[in-house]
Amino acid sequence: MLVKSAEFVMSNSDVAKCPKNRLPEYAFIGRSNVGKSSLINMLTNKKNLAKTSGRPGKTQLINHFLINKNWYLVDLPGYGYAKVSKSSKKTFQKFITQYFSLREQLVCAFVLVDIRHEPQPIDLEFMQWLGENGIPFSIIFTKADKLKPKAIENHVEVYKNILLETWEETPNYFITSSSNDIGKEAVLAYIDQLNENMNID
């Protein structure tokens, strides 16, 4: 897929105010500082479409970007940046939960994971929550340029083994790096394929 146009549409914290049309949506979410804004900018060929920041938790609203006039890329707040009580830790921001529960236009969520780190409980819990709620998702491993190919392979294998303890099969996944466009074509081709399956022009 060639991204010919990418434009910011709206930011809000109220799912009821998200775009009313029926265009398919692909939501990107992950822990703070996982490289989400950089990945979005890479996918859309825009340096500053999503605001990058060294400060964790920069994205705190639901951000809709219209891509090629026929689908939405949705930038969701990172989870895990706020210091919250134990009772709150498993409860993601209310509007994120509402977004996933109520947004019928959502086709697939992309859960971003920093490939340099061992599997984090908060990421695994979130994937578990998506699975329990029947929400289709893929994993996007970020920052692959920071590791050698063998290390990438090993880290992915560790992830797969942990996931297979509770999942019948491992979710679809992509290896990416925003600094050198690794994985860009694969992610866009996957979205393109899903759109085609829904007969989106």
pLDDT, residue 81, reads 52
Give the model's pLDDT for residue 173: 97
Q: What is the CATH number of the domain that holds 115?
A: 3.40.50.300
In a domain, 50, yes or no: yes
Phi, psi of 62 (to 5 degrees): -85, 115
Band (pLDDT 50/70/90 cuts) for residue 91 is: very low
b/e string for 16-37 if b means 16 or more Cβ within 10 A? eebeeeebbbbbbbbbbbbbbb
Q: For residue 52, with 0-12 CB atoms within 10 Å meaning exposed, 13-18 middle and 19 or more buried, which class applies? A: middle
Q: pLDDT value at position 200?
A: 52
Q: Return d(Cα 74, Cα 174) in angstroms, integer.
A: 18
> In a 3-state reduction of DSSP, which class is residue 10?
strand
In a domain, 25, yes or no: yes
Share of the chain above pLDDT 90, in %: 71
Q: Which domain holds residue 135?
A: 6-197
Q: Does 27 fall in a domain?
A: yes
Q: What angle do CA 30, 190, 139 make, to 5 degrees?
A: 25
Provide CB contacts within 8 A for 112, sequence distance 6+: 28, 29, 30, 31, 34, 35, 36, 39, 139, 140, 142
What confidence tens digit (pLDDT) does each residue in 69-89 have?
Answer: 999 999 998 776 555 555 544
> What pLDDT, on the 0 to 100 scale, is given for residue 95?
78
Count of domains in the chain?
1
How high is the pLDDT of residue 89? 44
Residue at 1 is within a domain: no
| Dihedral sign computed on CA atoms, order 150, 111, 137, 47 | negative
- pLDDT score of 61: 82
Tell me the pLDDT tens digit for each residue of 141-163: 999 999 999 999 999 999 999 99
In a domain, 181, yes or no: yes
Check whether 139 has a pLDDT greater than 60: yes
Q: Average pLDDT over the chain, rounded to whole?
A: 88
Task: Give the pLDDT of residue 92.
Answer: 53
Q: How far is it, in rounded angstroms, from Cα 65 to Cα 57?
A: 19
pLDDT at position 47 = 84
Q: DSSP 3-state assignment of 27?
A: strand
